């Protein structure tokens, strides 16, 4: 708001200057000047004799030997004066007569043949000031409107730090760097390629999920080649008026040819490069004309002119096929999510300017952050630093990083929400069901953490990580294990609680999606290796056609539903079987969660090995005694007995027996 007020004042400043100048000029020129009474020489002499004249001024008229005598009479008002016209021969006698009557005489210019400088200042200079001020204001207005006349100019900007980024600043992406390395060789030494008749790719398309480092990789190419780096977003081409985007494309390539060799980076190219004539409502004239001009310009310059275009998108499936043909974007480089080693390297880059506690192991953190992109890891370290500052700690601890991981995934912990004992016990049993299946299923992912602290929309959660960084491909057994783990919460509720809750709704959503994908996309059912449905990412608003062909009959649709239900029910029965066999472990984890609220992988492993956590926790050896105490408490109709510890049960039973004796 403050900047807006400053800009408004700045825009009004020329007009204020013009008002002041006009006011000064009008004042100097004396608009609305005093009334002048013409009198004769005789009348003047008579008024002087009567002592009625206060002062007189003699001024040459500009004509030879003719003067004006101006003055004021005692009876005149403030804006009145007289004027008498006399010849040069009468000047001396009038002057002597006035002085003899003690009247002061002023002579502005005794020589009528010359022009008074005061006359020039009074009459000419104000006009010059007015003309100059008017010219200044018109020029100011013309310059302020200059930008509105340049809407057809390119919006591509020359990066100020494009020459500073190097490959060493880009952690990971080993194969991706090798793919673009020859672009650097061409920009540095194009003659080497021209000598053998090699055609360097005109365009390289970087494809990958958001935050994986596509823009940083493009900057590193420009930095290593030490050439100008122009960057622009796909949305900067498209405007309200048809033809503006095409004009900007022409101007961008014109500027690039003047500065070749150079590199042009177009971010989010799908904003302008989507398929033509697709989607609801048909095409978009401005976007399609812009795309047509881009296609023409990429064909319009030779293979070795020194201009290379790098574009980035996370939706290559919606791009127009003409944009991806050889001669335009010749090469696609997939920038994947980092694996464990790459995540460790990225964490080291983002930890350079941070103070870490001695117990922080970046390798361990990289193993627990499967599926994180480079941007996620940068945000993770920044959140950990903010938490350390908030807690007034001298260094970033492992606890800060764990908390930051949870914040990135699920949101901040809702520590102010006080949960009752019943709700905490329900959540603990639910999450323990997930965790036990993750521990006991051979093909399940590793359990990293269990918590009953509410975060976001979840009352608690169990964190898993893949055993290997194979996040793009899963076996059938791994898919079955994931579905079974998702159903573990509801299975535990049904087995160990007197009721079931709505907390498993999101688990059902994930399990149903996985089961249906196994049937319709991956061919992992009795319906055979047939793809019945397209991937859900092919949505109409992203550039696909509105009407999708239904490539299966109603009978097959029924069979698909039956197969998906069969997979889920088999997984659910298996989940209940495993949990029944490991009831002691479920109770152990549940009681430990009630006590600690959050337990990590190391603590879970310790519980499985020893039955307790060093430093105090529920001991699995107490379970037989607890079973007897619960049965006794149930017979005594003690409320909430299933959530009580051993000591609490003994006290409650003793109190109940005392009450019965008193009765």
CB atoms within 10 A of CB 239: 17
Residues contacting residue 200 through CB under 8 Å, at least 6 positions apart: 182, 183, 186, 190, 193, 303, 304, 308
CB 324 within 8 A of CB 275: no
Which one of the listed residues 47, 431, 478, 493 is annotated catalytic? 431
Plot region of 211 (φ>0 → left; ψ -120 to 50 → alpha; else → beta): left
Whole-angstrom CA distances from 65 to 95, 141, 638, 647 are 16, 51, 132, 130
Look-up: residue for tokens 């007897």? 628
Q: Give dist(CA 379, CA 394) in Å, integer.
A: 20
Name the residue among 211, 189, 208 with its Cα closest to residue 200: 189
User: Tokens standing for 220?
Assistant: 């590193």
Sequence-ordered strand ranges (E) for 31-151: 35-38, 53-60, 66-73, 80-87, 105-107
Q: Which own/partner pairs from 287-290 qualify as long-range (CB within 8 Å, at least 24 positions apart)? A: 287/238, 287/245, 289/242, 289/243, 289/245, 289/246, 290/237, 290/238, 290/245, 290/246, 290/248, 290/249
Q: What is the β-pairing status of strands 66-73 and 80-87?
A: antiparallel
Look-up: residue for tokens 């889920």? 568
- For the chain, the residue count is 663
| HSE of 14, CA atoms in CB hemisphere, 13 A | 15
Q: Give dist(CA 270, CA 266) in Å, integer.
A: 10
Name the residue among 210, 168, 172, 208 with its Cα closest to residue 333: 208
Query: Which phi and psi angles does 636 have, rounded to 5°?
Result: -85, 0
CB 163 within 8 A of CB 220: no
The three-class DSSP label of residue 607 is: helix
CB atoms within 10 A of CB 44: 22
The three-class DSSP label of residue 263 is: strand
Peptide bond into 297 cis (omega under 30): no
Q: Give dist(CA 516, CA 563) in Å, integer.
A: 8
Q: Is 78 a catalytic residue?
A: no
Q: Which residues are part of the catalytic machinery?
A: 431
């Amino acid at each position: 708001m403050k900047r807006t007020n400053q800009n408004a004042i700045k825009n009004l400043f020329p007009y204020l200057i013009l008002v002041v100048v006009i006011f000064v000029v009008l004042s100097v020129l004396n608009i609305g000047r005093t009334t002048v009474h013409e009198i004769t020489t005789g009348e003047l002499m008579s008024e002087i004799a009567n002592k009625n004249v206060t002062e007189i001024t003699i001024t040459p008229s500009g004509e030879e030997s003719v003067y004006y005598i101006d003055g004021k009479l005692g009876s005149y008002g403030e804006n009145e004066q007289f004027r008498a016209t006399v010849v040069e021969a009468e000047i001396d006698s009038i002057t002597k007569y006035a002085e003899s009557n003690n009247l002061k005489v002023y002579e502005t210019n005794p020589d009528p043949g010359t022009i008074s400088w005061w006359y020039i200042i009074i009459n000419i200079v104000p006009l010059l000031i007015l003309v100059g001020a008017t010219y200044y204001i018109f020029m100011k207005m013309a310059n302020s409107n200059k930008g509105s006349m340049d809407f057809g100019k390119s919006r591509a900007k020359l990066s100020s730090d494009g020459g500073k980024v190097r490959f060493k600043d880009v952690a990971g992406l080993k194969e991706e760097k090798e793919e673009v390395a020859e672009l650097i060789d061409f920009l540095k030494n194009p003659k080497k390629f021209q000598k053998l008749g090699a055609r360097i790719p005109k365009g390289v398309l970087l494809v990958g999920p958001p935050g994986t480092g596509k823009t940083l990789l493009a900057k590193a190419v420009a930095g290593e080649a030490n050439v100008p780096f122009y960057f622009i977003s796909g949305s900067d081409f498209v405007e309200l008026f048809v033809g503006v985007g095409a004009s900007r494309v022409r101007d961008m390539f014109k500027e690039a040819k003047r500065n070749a060799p150079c590199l042009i980076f177009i971010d989010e190219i799908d904003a302008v490069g989507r398929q033509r004539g697709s989607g609801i409502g048909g095409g978009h004239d401005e976007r399609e004309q812009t795309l047509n001009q881009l296609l023409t310009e990429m064909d319009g310059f030779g293979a070795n002119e020194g201009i290379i275009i790098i574009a980035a998108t996370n939706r290559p499936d919606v791009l127009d096929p003409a944009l991806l043909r050889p001669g335009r974007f010749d090469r696609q480089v997939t920038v994947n999510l980092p694996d464990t080693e790459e995540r460790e390297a990225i964490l080291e880059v983002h930890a350079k300017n941070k103070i870490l506690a001695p117990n922080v192991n970046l390798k361990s953190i990289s193993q627990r952050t499967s599926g994180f992109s480079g941007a996620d890891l940068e945000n993770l370290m920044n959140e950990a630093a903010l938490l350390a500052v908030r807690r007034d700690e001298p260094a970033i601890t492992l606890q800060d990083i764990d908390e930051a991981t949870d914040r990135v995934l699920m949101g901040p912990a809702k520590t102010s929400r006080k949960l009752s004992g019943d709700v905490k016990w329900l959540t603990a049993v639910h999450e323990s069901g997930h965790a036990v299946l993750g521990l006991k299923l051979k093909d399940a992912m590793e359990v990293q953490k269990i918590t009953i602290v509410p975060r976001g929309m979840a009352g608690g959660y169990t964190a898993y990580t893949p055993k290997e960084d194979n996040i793009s491909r899963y076996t059938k057994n791994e898919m079955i294990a994931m579905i079974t783990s998702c159903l573990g919460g509801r299975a535990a509720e049904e087995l160990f609680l007197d009721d079931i809750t709505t907390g498993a709704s999101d688990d059902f959503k994930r399990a149903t999606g996985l089961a249906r994908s196994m049937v319709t996309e991956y061919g992992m059912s009795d319906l055979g290796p047939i793809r019945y449905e397209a991937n859900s990412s092919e949505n109409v608003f992203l550039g696909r056609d509105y009407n999708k062909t239904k490539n299966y009959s109603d009978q097959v649709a029924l069979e698909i539903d039956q197969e998906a239900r069969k997979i889920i029910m088999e997984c659910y029965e298996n989940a209940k079987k495993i949990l029944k066999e490991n009831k002691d472990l479920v109770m152990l984890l549940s009681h430990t969660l009630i006590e600690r609220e959050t337990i990590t992988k190391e603590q879970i492993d310790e519980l499985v090995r020893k039955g307790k956590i060093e430093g105090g926790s529920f001991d699995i050896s107490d379970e037989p005694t607890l079973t007897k105490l619960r049965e006794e408490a149930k017979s005594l109709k003690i409320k909430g007995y299933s959530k009580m510890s051993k000591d609490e049960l003994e006290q409650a039973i003793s109190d109940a027996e005392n009450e019965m004796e008193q009765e």
